[in-house]
Structure 1
Amino acid sequence: MRRRTLRFFFILFLLTAFLPGGASSQEDELLKHPRDMKFPPLSFQPPKASRTVLDNGMVVYLLENPELPLIRLSALIRTGSIQDPPNRSGLARVTAAVMRNGGAEGRPFKEINETLENLAAEVEFSMGTESASGYLFARKEDFARVLPIFADLLMWPAFDSEQLDLVKKAEIEAIRRQNDNPEEIAYREFRRALYRGNPRGQIPTVETIEKIQREDLIVFHRRFFHPTTIYLGVSGDFKKEEMTAALERTFGTWDRSFIEIPSIAFPSPQEEKAIFYAPKDIPSSTILLGHVSLPQKHPDYFSFKILNFILGGGGFNSRLIQEIRSNRGLAYNVGSFYSGRVGYGVFGALCQTKAESTHRVISLLYEIIQGMKKNPPRPEEIDWAKKTLINQFIFSFSSSAAVVGQQMRLEYDGLPEDYLEKYQERVAAVTAEDLQRVAREHLHPGKSVLVVVGKEEGFEKPLSSFGAVNRIELKSAP
């Protein structure tokens, strides 16, 4: 037996050692750097959920997945904190919180909490800037009990006064602590400056939260929560026909109503450089630099997305990280971001550095961003960025819930039906000439908002060397 085994390995050695492309070629392949390895092009067709419309006009996306006996339902609601009245900033977020915690008509909040806890189910609501959302998560066997709870909270919230008081106290406490984190300060003041004069730049205060009354929540809910302003997505272990019938029964009492959502103007681009300084007695500085950019529907959206990836959105191989962190050791956290939204977009770069290197880092941020126009992306950078973005896109469909969420968002944002199908093709079609033109036309470091949080006494040069400085006083909330 032992002799037969030795003979087998001897023959195997001869085959791998002397056949063309044997051991040496395999060893060469293993020793290659991952960036130099070649793979066949990825072929991926995004999965699709089925779309239906309930009798009352509510749009529903359904995707069956019997792998586990679980069901997840999500809701996307056409509202957001941009609809806050100026003297009630924070109302939208408070409304969403009390919707969940304040019970529903005929369902006390304590009873709801006990039921969900006993069933290990989840129901939540939240409010973003330009949309609200909700979700339900339950075992298949419990879904019939949990769905009516979710529906009643969505349609007929009770807005319990005691729960409203608790939510307001929590919001006020968060406002009182809002100056603890320098990065949160930078983003808040960046948003305020970027969206000057626009509801997107409204920041809740203790005074605006204290003014909110139960009647305000009722009015807000009646104004924005209707079947025709809501998209539902359901994924998990169910049959499409049975789920559609269950949703019709559950939401059928909610009458169709056509309402006009108030139109909010999009933010306008900065006409000149604006510098803001928030003094904080800390040994480091947080720097945020950016401007209003391209919306998602813009023809140059994909080109700008790739450009940002190469500049600083792509991690360790991006230019900002390579130069500021790896080559100069001036920062641990540095990078750029770009978000294309409906009607507008936001581009920015963030860096956290020592106080004494603040001026150098700001200079480098301006220089490297401006340098994208003079030193366009190299072929290897373009190839890396396009391949990575396509790979990331594929992994965004990792679950049936993610698939449903993608399609809901497409319709909510008014994007073309073939957007997901054409995504990889549009990324691959971007050329070096496109990137050079987009950098020239759409990167504007000289017309950007710069926010710096830190201790200027420790800076090697004053911020005024970059232009006029607007000082932000970080006052403690009462």
Structure 2
Amino acid sequence: MALSLISNTAAQSQSSRITEVTSPGGIKAWLVHDTTLPLIAVEFAFLGGASQDGAELAGLANFTASLLDEGAGPLDAAQFQSTLADHAVELHFDAGRDDVRGSLRTLSENKDKAFELLRLAVAEPRFDPEAVERIRAAHMAMLRRRSTDPSSMANDRWFALAFPDHPYGRPADGTLESMARITRDDIAGFAKKTLARSNLRVAVVGDISAEELGQRLDAVFGALPATATLVPVAHVEPQKIGTVDVIALDVPQSVVVMGTGGLERRDPDFMPAYVLNHILGGSAFSSRLFKEVREARGLAYSVYSYQVALAHTGLWFAGTATKNERAGESIAIITDEFRKILKDGPSQTELDEAKSYLTGSYALRFDTSSKVAGQLLQIQLDQLGIDYIDKRNALVDAVTLDDLKRVAGRLATAKDALTVVVGKPQGLSGG
């Protein structure tokens, strides 16, 4: 079922299997109707996320999302969770920087109960004091672990330095101080302002018709507020580019995070940049960074680069973990490889190999109903169009060396980065 969505057969548009459903109440969703298995997978998101936390309440979106399935309507947390288990329903919520997401997976025979539980979770969450304090304790335990985890420390410091006066500079998981400060009223207020029909995106795959889905959408989401009350978030560029910050930690390896400006997802040059990144460090075993840092010099087991396209900025990262005494050397090599690929570009062979891998592996994103739903949701969030699956591989195939040279020119400032190192690196200074 899923693989047929990206079949190379030209006889019929594969996106014709994706139907845009509009409920009687006006709620939209993308549907792939498939009866191969008696399963229904639903992925949905409310725009907003941690960017709506507020300066003093970092972690509020994440805290709220964690509580949505901890009691709702007439069911307390234990009853809600046992009902999910009794009917083999999987329901999860989480929050990122730009949205609050939910995921539902159920057998067709249990869909009535599954959709009712989902309705209760989003429309009638209880936020009982017992559940609030239990989840708060779990979050604070997680934050204590993160406070000594080198990778978490490096990532949080990078965003704090890059976006000092912006919501992206706050840790999405919050801090020990902010988590202790959040009240039940804060949580209920966040849910009321953020969980609304206007900022809802939905994707559904499985054993459900368009007509039934329309009815279910109204039943589940119809009672939510019509319009979300979101604080505008400004577009932003990362600061402190070209600087190095060191967090001293007594560990045998230094964790390195290097980040700089990139392209936003809807930028026409995003796909050439995506191919360029694959060649630099996006491929696990054939990238330039892998060959130079691991194979040629044995400096690290893992080295990588990747793009991050947030709603209000585009970023390009590289990272590794290496012995403290080799950290400076590793950073120098990664920086050099960034500069080389931006100055000279890749070879035709590198481009051909990258395109072959990226087009051939695309099908792996669609090998389960949940993955298909997740991809369809992300395409909606990125505003790429319902026919994007049809076009995606052609967009990759169309990338030329001239395209990569043009993009390299646009990304010329990426030869410098904001670098954060956690450990005891030799030959570096910062604080």
TM-score (norm 2): 0.91
Give the Å deviation of 1:98: 1.2
Task: Name the residue aligned to 2:197.
Answer: 227
Larger Rg: 1
1:59 and 1:297 mapped to 2: Cα distance?
Answer: 21
Give the Å deviation of 1:241: 2.3
Task: Name the residue aligned to 1:108.
Answer: 76
Task: Name the residue aligned to 1:336.
Answer: 305
How many residues end up aligned between the 2 structures? Answer: 420
Give the Å deviation of 1:43: 5.0
Task: Name the residue aligned to 1:297.
Answer: 266
2:219 and 2:332 mapped to 1: Cα distance?
Answer: 62
Which moves more between the two structures, 85-94 or 45-54? 45-54
Correspondences of 1:131-146 after superposition (within 5 Å)? 131-146=99-114
Relative distance call for 1:250 and 1:182 in structure 2 (3 A) is: closer
1:397 and 1:99 mapped to 2: Cα distance?
Answer: 28
1:237 aligned residue (198, 207, 211): 207
Task: Name the residue aligned to 1:463.
Answer: 428
Structure 2 residue 153 is the aligned partner of structure 1 residue 185? yes
Relative distance call for 1:250 and 1:362 in structure 2 (3 A) is: closer
Correspondences of 1:394-409 after superposition (within 5 Å)? 394-409=363-378
2:193 maps to amino acid: R
1:113 maps to amino acid: Q
Task: Name the residue aligned to 1:155.
Answer: 123
Correspondences of 1:206-221 after superposition (within 5 Å)? 206-221=176-191
Which moves more between the two structures, 191-200 or 52-61? 52-61
Give the Å deviation of 1:42: 5.2
Relative distance call for 1:255 and 1:160 in structure 2 (3 A) is: closer
Give the Å deviation of 1:83: 0.4
Correspondences of 1:267-278 after superposition (within 5 Å)? 267-270=236-239, 272-278=241-247
1:334 and 1:228 mapped to 2: Cα distance?
Answer: 41
Give the Å deviation of 1:234: 2.3
1:202 maps to amino acid: R
Task: Name the residue aligned to 2:4.
Answer: none
Give the Å deviation of 1:352: 1.2
Give the Å deviation of 1:97: 0.9
TM-score (norm 1): 0.83
C-alpha distance after superposition, 1:275-326 (max 9, x if no partner): 1101111121111112121101112111111111111111211111111110
Which moves more between the two structures, 161-170 or 442-451? 442-451
For structure 1, the residue ranges without an aligned partner over 5 or more in a row are 1-40, 472-478
Task: Name the residue aligned to 1:31.
Answer: none
1:263 maps to amino acid: P
2:327 maps to amino acid: T
1:269 and 1:438 mapped to 2: Cα distance?
Answer: 19
**SS of the counterpart of 1:347?**
strand
Relative distance call for 1:94 and 1:340 in structure 2 (3 A) is: closer
Task: Name the residue aligned to 1:26.
Answer: none
C-alpha distance after superposition, 1:231-285 (max 9, x if no partner): 2322222333233334434544x16623453220122143641211011111211
Give the Å deviation of 1:63: 1.9
Give the Å deviation of 1:149: 1.2
Contact 2:305 2:317 in 1 (8 A): yes
Contact 2:52 2:230 in 1 (8 A): no
2:311 and 2:295 mapped to 1: Cα distance?
Answer: 36
**SS of the counterpart of 2:302?**
strand
2:214 maps to amino acid: T
1:166 maps to amino acid: R
Contact 1:355 1:455 in 2 (8 A): yes
**SS of the counterpart of 1:315?**
coil
1:450 aligned residue (405, 412, 419): 419
C-alpha distance after superposition, 1:82-134 (max 9, x if no partner): 10011111111111111111x11222222222222222222221111111111
Contact 2:260 2:317 in 1 (8 A): yes
Give the Å deviation of 1:166: 0.7
2:255 aligned residue (286, 291, 305): 286
1:279 and 1:109 mapped to 2: Cα distance?
Answer: 41
Give the Å deviation of 1:191: 2.0
Structure 2 residue 140 is the aligned partner of structure 1 residue 172? yes
Structure 2 residue 351 is the aligned partner of structure 1 residue 382? yes
Task: Name the residue aligned to 1:126.
Answer: 94
Correspondences of 1:32-47 after superposition (within 5 Å)? 43=9, 46-47=14-15
**SS of the counterpart of 1:125?**
strand
Task: Name the residue aligned to 1:11.
Answer: none
1:284 and 1:114 mapped to 2: Cα distance?
Answer: 43
Contact 1:49 1:63 in 2 (8 A): yes
Contact 2:98 2:311 in 1 (8 A): no
C-alpha distance after superposition, 1:151-203 (max 9, x if no partner): 01111111111100011111111222213321222222122222222101102
2:312 and 2:54 mapped to 1: Cα distance?
Answer: 22
Give the Å deviation of 1:218: 1.2
Task: Name the residue aligned to 1:435.
Answer: 404
Task: Name the residue aligned to 2:166.
Answer: 198
Task: Name the residue aligned to 2:3.
Answer: none
2:132 maps to amino acid: L
**SS of the counterpart of 1:245?**
helix
Relative distance call for 1:346 and 1:46 in structure 2 (3 A) is: farther
1:61 and 1:130 mapped to 2: Cα distance?
Answer: 20
Contact 1:58 1:229 in 2 (8 A): no
C-alpha distance after superposition, 1:357-397 (max 9, x if no partner): 11111111111111113332111100001111112223222
